[in-house]
Chains A and B, each alone.
Chain A
Amino acid sequence: MVRSATSLTGNGVRDWLWQRVSAVILAVYTVFIVGFIWITPQLDYVAWFQFFQGVGVKLFTLLAVLSLLVHAWVGMWTILTDYVKPAGLRLTLEILVIIALVLYFIAAIAIVWSV
């Protein structure tokens, strides 16, 4: 058993499962958005505005953003632990990635609920 304090769940199976579950959510969201673009006759500001006024769409969008962040963290953590060997530098980069991801989430909430 290899201990790892900084991975998403500290457990390989759960990290792996989270990455796959989030991938499925992102795939469904992609189909959802492409479907909206497909069936909307006139795709202008008003159409987008009305679309994002629905609470369901807002929640689904935030869920998709959250999935993206979870997915990105598992992936970024894997890349950093593969390629960055000095522990101090790796931890610094990991913290920067976490800060960026958290800011993205806050920005996403601000954008989606401003509609």
Chain B
Amino acid sequence: MSEAMRTVKFKIYRFNPETDIKPSMKDYELTIPDNQDMMLLEAILRIKALDDSLAFRRSCREGVCGSDGMNINGRNGLACVTLLSSLKQPIELRPLPGLPVIRDLIVDMKAFFKQYEKVKPYLVNNDPLPAKERLQSPAERKKLDGLYECILCACCSTSCPSFWWNPEKFVGPAGLLQAYRFIADSRDTSKVERLEALADPFSVFRCRGVMNCVEVCPKGLNPTRAIGHIRSELLAEGN
């Protein structure tokens, strides 16, 4: 007896700058066993087995590396942690919005990482090194929860209108979450310099609080709250 099968319909954004003048949406159909569910990434890999010209990024396939961020039915997310059964058909896949498309679902992340680099996402501490390590109390460490877990998939920043309009000036939710992660770190000694670098009208203050970042974050983080904390710190510092 043959297994009952079902068809899943897809519309996938295709663009190859070497051969195409304009991007287009291409239809795909995937036949899978009726009683089987899978992550979207697995389905895309099966589509690639049918059409190996389809280009996309992926790596860890478990929501840790942040490579397969894409626009799924109009909402940014990670293909590897999105259940196929949770999506309305035809499933529309597009590259992350607001960044230049290199090919198909692959975007150029330079603008995103440039903003990340700007916030100096590393610990700065000019005090003499202690004998063993720089200690934190459990309470101080707790302040970093909800900040350090970011995997830099860019789902948040590329869903943010302020980042779309000013990607070279507004740091964006991902970068600002990291900025606050180091501002809030008790072991960091450059809080004042960090805040000064963010005090202009664009870097932080271009955030209008629409919370698209919170809505899409696959790790359930809250960049808007972190941005609010940065604003309060800036006010307290009197910048």
Question: Interface residues, chain A, CB within 8 Å of chain B?
Answer: 1-4, 7, 10-13, 15-17, 78, 81-83
Contacts and interface: CB of A to CB of B under 8 A. Distances in A.
Max count, chain B CB within 10 A of own CB: residue among A2, A17, A81: A2
Nearest to A6: B201
Majority SS of interface residues in chain B? loop
Given A11-B239, A12-B204, A16-B205, A1 B199 contact: yes
Interface in B201-236: 201-206, 231, 234-235
A3 B197 CA distance: 11
Taking residues whose C-beta sits less than 8 angstroms from the other chain, chain B's interface range is: 10 to 19
A83 B162 CA distance: 10
B200 A2 contact: yes
A82 B231 CA distance: 20
B200 A3 contact: yes
B201 A7 contact: yes
6 contacts: A2-B201, A2-B203, A10-B201, A11-B200, A12-B198, A81-B202
Contact of B202 (A2, A13, A17, A83): A2
Given A13-B239, A82-B166, A83-B165, A1 B201 contact: no
Contacts of A2: 169, 200-203
B196 interface: yes
Interface string B91-117: 000000000000000000000000000
Max count, chain A CB within 10 A of own CB: residue among B162, B196, B199: B199
B202 A12 contact: yes
A11 B166 contact: no
Contacts of B200: 1-4, 10-12
Contacts of A4: 200-202
Max count, chain A CB within 10 A of own CB: residue among B169, B198, B200, B234: B200
